[in-house]
């Protein structure tokens, strides 16, 4: 692993377009559809139905051009669409950093939650525009849209932290965020109607 980007980056400004979450200049982008979230929703039947009926986009991630290498500080903008599957709010896959390092999320739009799990303890942080959520080293993290409009946040993270998605499939996230009227119910991961993660789901990939 290199110690910085090669060739070294020069200082530069990145313009954020708040209306449609563009970055200029912009790096890689990715789109997660429902079919990319196999094994993550408790209600597998509802997940299968959602895939079969249009396979909707659940979230997108737009990255800055700063590469994910040691000593650099990449950023990304994630937008999670509003929705729920089997009563569970739409969410990101969630990941652990293979190299335990911290990260911050800054709420930009909508109403979200930041679910954190260290394998024992679980924390839930409400993230709205202007709120910074701190993710300490060693805590797996997942974002959830608990509102009725797109939820958007900025992430800033060490370039060598990495993304381990398999950890979440093995360990779960401690809690699930379920819709309850206009509110949120946080239920234990293995509660009735909230079965454990599918053992044959996707493993690590980018984001
Ligand atoms: Fe992260």
The answer on pLDDT for 206 being more than 90 is no
What's the confidence (pLDDT) of residue 198? 41
Using only the alpha carbons of the chain, give its radius of gyration. 17
**Domains of the chain as residue ranges with CATH:** 26-188 (2.60.120.10)
Side-chain half-sphere CA neighbours of 84 within 13 A: 17
Q: Residue 53 in 3-state DSSP?
A: coil
- Calpha distance 94→183 (Å, rounded): 22
Over residues 172-190, mean pLDDT: 94
Considering Cα of 186, then 201, then 73, then 60, what sign does the dihedral take?
Answer: negative
Compute, in angstroms, the gap from residue 99 CA to the centroid of ligand 1. Answer: 10
Compute, in angstroms, the gap from residue 199 CA to the centroid of ligand 1. Answer: 22
What's the confidence (pLDDT) of residue 191? 62
Task: Provide the token pair at 22.
Answer: 């563009």
Confirm if 67 and 76 have CB atoms less than 8 A apart.
no
Compute, in angstroms, the gap from residue 134 CA to the centroid of ligand 1. Answer: 11
Compute, in angstroms, the gap from residue 96 CA to the centroid of ligand 1. Answer: 7
pTM: 0.91
The answer on pLDDT for 205 being more than 60 is no
- Calpha distance 170→147 (Å, rounded): 28
Compute, in angstroms, the gap from residue 173 CA to the centroid of ligand 1. Answer: 14
- Calpha distance 34→40 (Å, rounded): 10
pLDDT-derived band at 68, boundaries 50, 70, 90: very high
Task: Provide the token pair at 192.
Answer: 């009735």
The answer on pLDDT for 182 being more than 70 is yes
What's the confidence (pLDDT) of residue 204? 33
Confirm if 178 and 185 have CB atoms less than 8 A apart.
yes
The answer on pLDDT for 207 being more than 60 is no
Helices (H), the chain: 44-52, 166-171
Determine the longest span between alpha carbons in the chain, in angstroms.
Answer: 53
């Amino acid at each position: 692993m290199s110690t910085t980007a090669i060739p070294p980056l020069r200082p530069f400004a990145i313009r954020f377009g708040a209306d449609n979450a563009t970055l200029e200049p912009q790096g890689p982008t990715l789109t997660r559809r429902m079919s990319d979230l196999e094994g993550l929703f408790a209600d597998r039947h509802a997940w299968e139905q959602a895939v079969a009926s249009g396979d909707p986009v659940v979230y997108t991630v737009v990255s800055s051009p700063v590469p994910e290498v040691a000593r650099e500080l990449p950023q990304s903008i994630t937008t999670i669409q509003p929705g729920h599957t089997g009563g569970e709010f739409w969410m990101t896959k969630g990941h652990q950093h293979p190299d335990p390092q911290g990260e911050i999320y800054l709420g930009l739009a909508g109403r979200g939650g930041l679910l954190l799990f260290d394998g024992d303890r679980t924390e839930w942080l409400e993230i709205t525009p202007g709120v910074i959520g701190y993710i300490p080293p060693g805590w797996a993290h997942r974002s959830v849209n608990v509102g009725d409009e797109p939820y958007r946040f900025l992430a800033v993270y060490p370039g060598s932290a990495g993304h381990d998605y398999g950890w979440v499939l093995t360990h779960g996230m401690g809690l699930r965020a379920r819709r309850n009227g206009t509110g949120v119910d946080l239920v234990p991961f293995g509660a009735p109607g909230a079965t454990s993660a599918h053992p044959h789901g996707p493993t690590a990939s980018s984001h």
